[in-house]
A and B are shown apart, each in its own frame.
Chain A
Amino acid sequence: MNPAELHSLAEQERQRQKEQALRLFLCYSTPCLSAGADKVKSALEALIAERRKSGEVDLELVATGCMGPCSRGPLLRILSPEGGERMFEKLTPETACDILRRHWADEPPPVEPLAVDLPFFSRQTRIVLDNSGWIDPEKIEQSIARGAYGALAYVLREMNPEEVCNTIKSSGLRGRGGGGYPTGVKWELVRKSPAERKFVVANGDEGDPGAYMDRTIMESDPHRVLEGMAIAGYATGAEQGYIYVRGEYPLAAARLSRAIKDAERKGLLGSRILESNFNFRIDLRVGAGAFVCGEETALMTSIMGRRGQPVPRPPYPAQSGLWGYPTLINNVETFANVAPILKNGAEWFSGFGTEKSKGTKVFALCGEVVNSGLIEVHMGIRLREIVFDIGGGLPDGGAFKAAQTGGPSGGCIPAAHLDTPVDYESLKELGSMMGSGGLIVMNQGSCMPDVAKFFMEFCQDESCGKCVPCRVGTVEMHEILTRITNGAAVLEDLEMLEDLCRLVQESSLCGLGMTAPNPVLNTLEYFRDEYLAHIRDRRCPAEVCRLDKVPLLKLPEHARELAIFLKEKC
């Protein structure tokens, strides 16, 4: 395929869509599927087929990626050619069919559609999720009709690798995996590394509990990620890419592998892409359930088929990565930002966001909020706007206590800091971090020492065990936190806990260990009185921990017999 053919294919598809009397978009991503979208789809399909027999209907049912408000799924959007758009929530197969029947009969729908000006939609800025919810991710034509691979065609024809790197650099895009390293600088480093082979890796191993942005991007718009990777390949001089998907995301892996095949068949990946001299292959790698594989060096060892254990840096992957060759690793969301930047220019992109954090960020908003789901907001938005405007506040009149960001590497932001702008620097100042973008709202029913214990248990389980501070430190910290939540701790324990946190932070080998103490330190800073209540008053203010049922002295398993023996004798 050459650029002209790409253009005409897009035109053709757009024309076809315009000719449809009606287009139905059914959200078909994981959350809606588990809420029953598949049943809605088969019911609608049966109804359409029945109607089609009589030969009077010209409509299309599109199974799309995520539309956003996951807690309201399954979602259906009806779009008529005049541009009239209505969206329905919490559908059952019956109501969905009823809606369609009444639409044909020109009657008002049986249920009220969602308000068009819902702040959940109107307060968002969608760059990454622009196509999500509007295309069938398994049909490459629909992606192309919305401009997919257009940026790649432009780059291959008009720009040299150096210019591409410079555009990314001046756009101010930073890594969306959490660290926030300037993407353009990283690309430039790989481009300048002399080597006969180079690699591009997309990190889709999103292990943070409470985060599912990467999965949604891969599920809803796989071609956007592939295009970003191909552009990165051109800019850095790589001919081979890997996309590493978490094992728990089978749907994302299936859609990606389909997308790769489709793109290869159309000559948009593979050799001589778009009839240029550029070759780029992408292979899919499926992870097998290890949080540490989200760390770049561990991810690379896992791609090479080994235990996913990190290796010390430097040398950084940009100098020596996969099989010792220079490797560019970016998060899936970072790659999803690439095509719009090159299509619209660096200046357009840097118009969004704050001075140091440009663009938008996708968050998975969940926990105690009315509208939970996937949102994309511009950097620098106040946390209050996210929780109360977009999220719709807390259900049942609950009071906001904290928002947890950044997963086990992040921390909790208390109510006093609700007006903090959400960007890399401000979050870091609060002892939290952007992370990959999980945002969990908690109300008064959450006990902070218990939350810290939860994250420490996570890190203890997921530590790969290679370095001692992380392997032993997380276990010890978990022990102390267990004692605190059991009501068996003394004040010295708190001191020891803080000491341990600093030690693990400073001496661990990789990001997992370095950031594991963050939730503890952060909750100690903002919610110290809760820790003290547990230790001093043996009381849990949130009434989560059961302090009364646990004895102060807990005997180990092997000492129990001895205790019984002593009791009998004495």
Chain B
Amino acid sequence: MTTSVAAGRPNQDRQGENPRLQLLEKSLKKFHYQQDALIEVLHIAQETFGHLDEEILDYVSLRLRLPPSWVFGVATFYNFFSLDPQGDHVCVVCMGTACYVKGAGEIVARIEQAFSMKAGETTPDGKLTLMAARCLGNCSLAPMLTLDGEVLGKQTPEATLAAIQEKMRLVQARQEDTK
């Protein structure tokens, strides 16, 4: 696929095989290949592919006729875009003021310690991604976090660790079942 994207002919030969690329192409069309729509297109790309790798960024830069450095610059400037694939489980701890005052820092520190990782990283086995968000706007539930999109409010470090381990255990049990 790399060659076809680099050659700038994704339209004819490869697109039919990849429905996700088709989806991206459709959204590009919706925005009339306008360069202003770069951020919108990257949003859709990340939604469909999960993250933005080099190939996707190349593809977008070709279709929008923007220099690759420009596209890369935008993709790295905004926190929302991720250039690396995420782990099986994603834990986002809110580090807004209300959560911080009520001890969200402690929660992050404990998870970092338990999985020997830093916030913003994924564990080497790809099981968990830990992120610290700048206020998710659920201040009345402080300290709060989301685990795989599910909101957990009024958390303690122990409860959070337990919830993460429970998630991992469930997935493992399911995998063993299918075996």
Contact = CB atoms under 8 A, between A and B. Distances in A.
Contacts of A211: 135, 137
Interface residues of B, number: 36
Given A34-B151, A288-B39, A307-B77, A440 B138 contact: no
Nearest to B136: A248
Given A71-B140, A286-B40, A210 B78 contact: no
Contacts of B110: none
B161 interface: no
A70 B153 CA distance: 12
B135 A290 contact: no
A211 B140 CA distance: 11
Interface string A417-458: 000000000000000000000101010001000010011001
B170 interface: no
Interface stretch (A10-18, A366-374, A510-518, A522-530): A366-374
A241 to B, nearest CB: 15
A290 B36 contact: no
A392 interface: no
B168 interface: no
B77 A210 contact: no
Interface in A268-327: 285-291, 302-308
Contact of A454 (B43, B74, B78, B100): B100
Interface in B70-87: 70, 73-74, 77-81
A440 B143 CA distance: 13
B78 A289 contact: yes
B148 to A, nearest CB: 14
Q: Which residue, A306, A368, A407, has most C-beta atoms of chain B within 10 A?
A: A306
B141 interface: yes
Contacts of A215: 137
Q: Which residue, B81, B101, B136, B151, has most C-beta atoms of chain A within 10 A?
A: B101
Interface string A205-237: 001111110010000000000000000000000
A87 interface: no
Contacts of A303: 36
B42 A288 contact: yes
B35 interface: yes
A462 interface: yes
Contact of B97 (A209, A248, A302): A209
Nearest to A72: B140
Interface string B56-98: 0000000000000010011001111100000000000001111
Contact of A286 (B43, B70, B100, B140): B43
Interface string A236-260: 0000000000011100000000000
B164 interface: no
Contacts of A535: none
Contacts, number: 127
A404 interface: yes
B37 A210 contact: no
A111 to B, nearest CB: 20
A236 B57 CA distance: 39
A372 B140 contact: yes
B134 interface: yes
Nearest to A372: B140
Nearest to A32: B140
Interface string A541-562: 0000000000000000000000
A246 B80 CA distance: 10
A446 B100 CA distance: 10
B35 A288 contact: no
A34 B74 contact: no
B142 A366 contact: yes
A210 B139 contact: yes
Contact of A305 (B74, B135, B141): B74
Contacts of A458: 134
B21 interface: no
Nearest to A248: B136
B38 interface: yes
A420 to B, nearest CB: 20
Nearest to B94: A209
A364 interface: yes
Given A34-B141, A289-B81, 15 more contacts: A34-B144, A209-B95, A209-B135, A215-B137, A248-B135, A286-B40, A287-B39, A289-B78, A305-B37, A307-B74, A366-B139, A366-B142, A367-B142, A368-B102, A455-B97
A-B pairs, top 9 by smallest CB distance, nearest first, are A288-B78, A289-B79, A34-B151, A209-B96, A366-B139, A212-B137, A289-B80, A70-B140, A209-B135
21 contacts: A31-B137, A70-B140, A73-B140, A207-B134, A207-B135, A209-B96, A210-B139, A211-B135, A212-B135, A215-B137, A248-B133, A287-B39, A287-B80, A288-B80, A288-B81, A290-B78, A302-B39, A308-B78, A440-B97, A458-B134, A462-B134
Interface of B: 35-40, 42-43, 70, 73-74, 77-81, 95-98, 100-102, 133-142, 144, 151, 153
Interface of A: 30-31, 34-35, 70-71, 73, 207-212, 215, 247-249, 285-291, 302-308, 364, 366-368, 372-373, 404, 407, 438, 440, 442, 446, 451, 454-455, 458, 461-462, 464
